[in-house]
Structure 1
Amino acid sequence: MRNLVAAIQNRDAGALARIAGDSNHPVDRGVHEDVERLVDILFSNLKQLFPASVSTALRDPRDEAAAKRQWIAAFAENGIANKQQLSAGMKQARANGSPFWPSPGQFIEWCKEGEHRAAGLPSDEELYDMFKLYCRDRGMYDSSEEFPWESPACFHMVTAVYNQMRSFNLSDSECRKRLADEQRKMSRRIESGEVIPPPRKQIPHLHIPLSNDKGLDRIAEIRRKHGLRS
């Protein structure tokens, strides 16, 4: 089990291929059995939720074996690496009304959405809608802190990406990607027990001009400090 998690976390495609049996390299049978057990349990649970798959997509054992390899690879590419994420995905799957087998991408979305819900965060799509609303209505408020945020986490995620968009002239698709990244980082912060601080209006730093004499004294001090001639 540890080998699978390590391979997923390190995005080690070669190790995953060997674990899944999709390589000519010899496979450690003990590791292979552990991985098969994990995937078998997941597939067994999904079959109960999506019974149509038994007579359609997974009718042939060879198709099921190929599907398992694809799911392991998809998990690696999308950072699905622990039982908590799979449990979150299963919870979303149970709420789904379709009897048909989900794609790896759909199940991964369920994992992420369930993970966000467990951390008290919106879905990726809800966060994106919030971001667009903030971009549209930002000028109606004296400061970003006065915007009607749903939670402190939403304030920090949306304003972070808004500032990045302004600084780097990001496209819409780039903003979507960065919002998803902020979701993942915020979810980890909340899961670790961190308390997310509420929006606090920053006190502006005022520049108080110096008098002429004080200004000249300050210039002389700088010259002395750096050994410059008058």
Structure 2
Amino acid sequence: MKSTQQLLKNAIGNEPPHGTQKGPSNAELDALAARIVNYLFAELKSIFPAWRSALPTDMDEQLAKKTWSKAFIENELYREDQIRYGLKVARCQNHAYFPSVGMFIQWCQPTLEDLGLPSVRDAYLEACRKAHSISEAKWTHPAIFVATRDTGVFDLRSKPEAEMYPKFQSTYMKVYQRVLRGEDLSFELPKALPPASVSKPMGTEAGVSAVAELRKKLGLPKKEDDHERP
């Protein structure tokens, strides 16, 4: 028997329709959304035993599936991780009734905290504290560094909060969408500088030996003071 994860992979396919130059056709989107919704309805029926109250007849179910498919296309809800998260939230509900499509789409959107991100306010305060040393600072999450950089460190240092907080919030939520898509932002953190090398002065005996070795390589005659200093 195939696992739930494998069934979901089969429904979505290997590549969600994002990031292509031409973009998927309407027919491809319709087919993908229909596969996802068919899979979801089977799963959600097992989670919510009172589903018949929302889908009393086969005709009602077919109409509902068409509505769900349109909503998934409009909200670009195709990724496996999003749908898996929505099902995880669905399994935590304490009622038996089939959800609306809007409710399920909301379940597919993890909050900042769900993704391990600080709140917008906490992220903004950290950005303001560390804007003076953005390259050397240690960040609670790479997303805060990216949002700070993209908002503009000079502006964060010099302009009032009334102007900068809305700008930072907008930028931070765009970064949140990147985290939601599964992007690894750690690669955007500034690289740590290598520790500065400290050259030690060469000791007297080591210096004399080095001179003697150099004279030997050059074929010069050995000097008496190569091993002894006057």
Q: TM-score, with normalisation over the residues of structure 2?
A: 0.52
Unaligned 5+ segments in structure 2 are 1-11, 157-162, 194-230
Alpha-carbon offset, residue 64 of structure 1:
2.4
Q: Output aligned runs, 1:3-14, within 5 Å.
A: 5-6=16-17, 10=23, 14=26
| 1:158 is aligned to 2:147 | yes
In structure 2, the residue matched to 1:185 is 178
> Residue 220 of structure 1 corresponds to which residue in structure 2?
none
Cα deviation for residue 43 of structure 1 reads 0.8
Matched residue, 2:81? 84
Indicate if the aligned counterparts of 2:33 and 2:78 stay in contact, CA closer than 8 A.
no
Give the aligned CA root-mean-square deviation in angstroms.
4.4
- 1:34-71 Cα deviation digits (max 9, x unpaired): 8645422211111222223321x222433322322222
Q: What is the number of equivalent residue pairs in this alignment? A: 172
Per-residue CA deviation, residues 180-215 of structure 1 (Å, 9 max, x unaligned), is 32123234322xxx743556799xxxxxxxxxxxxx
- Aligned-pair CA distance for 1:179: 2.8
The residue number in structure 2 matching 1:65 is: 62
Higher helix share: 1
Structure 1 runs not aligned, ≥5 long: 20-31, 203-230
Is 1:102 the counterpart of 2:99 in the alignment?
yes
TM-score, L = length of structure 1: 0.52
SS of residue in 1 equivalent to 2:144: helix
Is the contact made by 2:47 and 2:91 (CA closer than 8 Å) also made in structure 1? yes
Equivalent residues of 2:50, 2:98 under 8 A apart? yes
Measure, in 2, the Cα distance between the counterparts of 1:80 and 1:141: 35
Matched, 1:15 2:27: yes
Q: From the superposition, tell whether residues 54 and 11 of structure 1 become closer, same or farther in structure 2 (CA, over 3 Å).
A: farther
Opposite residue 130 of structure 1, the aligned amino acid is D
Identical columns (%): 24
**1: CA distance, partners of 2:95 / 2:111:** 18
CA distance in 2, matches of 1:147, 1:37: 46
Preserved CA contact (<8 Å) 2:68 2:101: yes
CA distance in 2, matches of 1:51, 1:111: 21
The counterpart of 1:131, out of the listed 106, 115, 123, is 123
Residue 124 of structure 2 contacts residue 165 of structure 2 at CA under 8 Å; is this kept in 1? no
Distance 1:107 1:156, change over 3 A: farther
Call closer, same or farther: CA 1:189–1:7 in 2, change over 3 Å: closer
CA contact 2:146–2:188 (8 Å) conserved in 1: no
Higher-Rg member (1/2): 2
Q: Match for 1:15: what amino acid? A: A
